[in-house]
Amino acid sequence: MSDLAPLDESITLQQLDEDPYPIYQRLRNEAPVLRVKATGRTMLTKAEDTKYVKDNPELFSSDDPNTPMKRAFQAHTLMRKDGEAHMRERMAMAPAFSPKVIRTDWMPQYMRVAEEYVARLPRGEIVDLFPALSGPYAARGLGILLGIEEASDDDLQRWSQTLIDAAGNFGWRDEPFEKSDTANAEMNTLFDSLHERHLAEPNNSALSVMLNADDPIETTQIYSNIKIAIGGGINEPRDALNTILFGLLTNPDQLRQVKQQDDWERAFEEGVRWVAPIQVSSRLVMEDTEIRGFHIPKGDTVMTIQASANRDEDRYEDGESFQVYRERQSHQAFGNGPHFCQGTHVARRAVAHVMLPMLFDRFPDMTIPDLDDVIWRGFGFRGPTQIPVKLQ
Ligand code: HEM
C-alpha cells in the first residue's frame, strides 16, 4: 500500500490566520498533500486536487460529523448533506436565487440601499469602510433576499459572526456555543413571527418561497438553511468588496482602465480569485483512496484550500498579485460540484454591478492614506478587517 502523506507539526493556526499565502506557496511546491497537525486535516493546495475532491461527492462527503457545524446551527444544514437530501433542500431555496428574480426583484432594491448607504458617507474624511459600508450593505442585501428585512443590519452581522465563530469552534469550547444558542433563539423567534406575513403575501424571498412551496421541507430545515445563508452570505460579499477596493486602490493603473472600460465584473472576479473570501472547505473521505500517490484513508478529513488553488502556478502566471487584466481563467472562489455557491450571481451583481461603480462615481479620487492601517485576517474566511479610506 502507498504511504500516508507527510505530517507537518510546525504550521500554526496563528500563522494561517495572519497570512497563509507564503505557506501555501511553499506547500504547492514541496508538499501539496500534507497532514497538518494544527488543523487536524489533510491539506490539499493544488487546483487540480481541490477541484477533484469537490467534484466527487461519493468519495468525498460533505457530511463530516467531526465539524462543530451541527452544534452551532442546532441542525444538519444543506451544506453538510449529500445526494438527494442535499438537492431537495437546495432546490427549495433556488427560486429566490434565479437570475430573473435577481434582476427584477433584488437589484432595484440593492440599488436603493446602495444609494442610501453611499450617500451617508462623509466626503473628505478617512473612514473605515468595513463597518461604515461593506458590512451593513452586505447585511441589508441578504435581509431583503431572505425575506427577513425586520432584522437590523447589526443583528444580521452579529448573528452571522456568532454562527461562524461557533461553526469554527474546533476546540469545542462552551462560550461560542452559548452565544450561538442565544443567536439561534433570537433568529427562531424572528422567523416564527414572519410566517403570517409571508403566507399572506407570497413573494420571491427565500423564506417565502420555502414556506409557500407545494411540498415544503420541514420548518426546522427551512430555518437552518436561512441561517446557513446568514452565516455564509454576509461576510463573503463584504470581504470581496473590501478586497477589490484594496486591489484597485493600490493599483491605480488598473483602476483607471477598469473605470474607462466599465470592467467592474472583471475586477470582481480577480478580487475573489486573489483572496478567496471562503478560503478552505472540508470533506470526509468515504473509501480508502489515493491523491498524488499518497494513501488517503477512509474516515480522514481532507481540506480543500481554494485560496491556494486560485494562485496555483500551474494555472496562473504570478498568481500572488492582483491583476484585473490577467489572462482570463476560471477560479474556485465559489467552489465546485454540487455545493457550488448558490449566491454567486447575486453577490457578483451586488458588488460589481451596483456598489463598485456607484462608490467610485461618488468618490472618484479615493485613496488609502496608510497601507499599514489595512489589517488582513483569516484562515477559514479571509479579508481586510479594517480598511480606512479617504473619501474624496
Ligand atoms: C463573493 C461572495 C461569495 C463567495 C466567494 C461565496 C463562496 C462560497 C463557497 C466557496 C461555497 C461552497 C462551500 C463548500 O464547497 O463547502 C458557497 C456555498 C454557499 N453559498 Fe456562497 N459565497 C458568496 C456569497 C454568497 C451569498 C451572497 C449567499 C446568499 C445570499 C451565499 C449562499 C451560499 C449557500 C446557500 C451555499 C451552500 C450551497 C450548498 O451547499 O449547496 N453565498 N459559497
Q: Which residues contact 31 (CB under 8 A, 6 or more apart)?
A: 5, 6, 8
Beta-carbon count within 10 A of 175 CB:
10
Q: What does the pLDDT read at residue 68?
A: 86
Output the CA torsion sign for 245, 251, 252, 256.
negative
Distance 78 CA to ligand 1 centre (A): 11
* Ligand 1 and 232: CB distance under 6 A: yes
Say whether pLDDT at 171 is over 90. no
* Ligand 1 and 135: CB distance under 6 A: no
Distance 343 CA to ligand 1 centre (A): 5
Q: How far apart are CA 287 and CA 60, in angstroms?
A: 8
Mean predicted confidence (pLDDT) in 143-154: 98
Atom of ligand 1 nearest to the CA of 338: 41
Q: Which residues contact 222 (CB under 8 A, 6 or more apart)?
A: 92, 191, 207, 210, 211, 216
- For 7-390, CATH gives 1.10.630.10
Where do the structural domains in the chain lie, given as residue ranges?
A: 7-390
Over the stretch 206-241, which tens digit does the pLDDT of each residue have?
999 999 999 999 999 999 999 999 998 999 999 999
* Least confident among 162-166, 243-247, 252-256, 288-292: 162-166
Say whether pLDDT at 66 is over 80. no
Q: How far apart are CA 197 and CA 216, in angstroms?
A: 17
Residue in 254, 247, 278, 252 with CA at minimum distance from that of residue 344 = 278
Q: What does the pLDDT read at residue 170?
A: 78
Q: What does the pLDDT read at residue 222?
A: 95
Mean predicted confidence (pLDDT) in 362-389: 97
Q: What does the pLDDT read at residue 27?
A: 98
Output the CA torsion 103→109→112→113 (10° steps). -120
Choose one of 265, 341, 351 to mutate for the ligand 1 pocket test, by most ligand atoms within 8 angstroms of C-beta: 341
Largest CA distance in the chain: 66
SS3 382: coil
Q: How confident is the model at residue 106 (pLDDT cuts 50, 70, 90)?
A: very high
Q: What does the pLDDT read at residue 391?
A: 98
Q: How far apart are CA 223 and CA 141, in angstroms?
A: 18
Over the stretch 179-214, which tens digit does the pLDDT of each residue have?
999 999 999 999 999 999 999 999 999 999 999 999
DSSP characters over 251-290:
-HHHHHHHHHHT-HHHHHHHHHHHS-SB-EEEEEE-S-EE
* Ligand 1 and 233: CB distance under 6 A: yes
Q: How far apart are CA 256 and CA 59, in angstroms?
A: 46
* Ligand 1 and 383: CB distance under 6 A: no
Between 304 and 70, name the one with better pLDDT: 304
Mean predicted confidence (pLDDT) in 145-162: 97
Per-position b or e across 218-236, b if 16+ CB within 10 A of its CB: eeebbbbbbbbbbbbbbbb
Mean predicted confidence (pLDDT) in 23-43: 97
| Residue 358 grid cell | 456607484
Beta-carbon count within 10 A of 167 CB:
23
Say whether pLDDT at 54 is over 80. yes
Q: How confident is the model at residue 96 (pLDDT cuts 50, 70, 90)?
A: very high
Distance 43 CA to ligand 1 centre (A): 21
Residue bearing the CA closest to ligand 1, atom 3: 236
Mean predicted confidence (pLDDT) in 163-188: 93
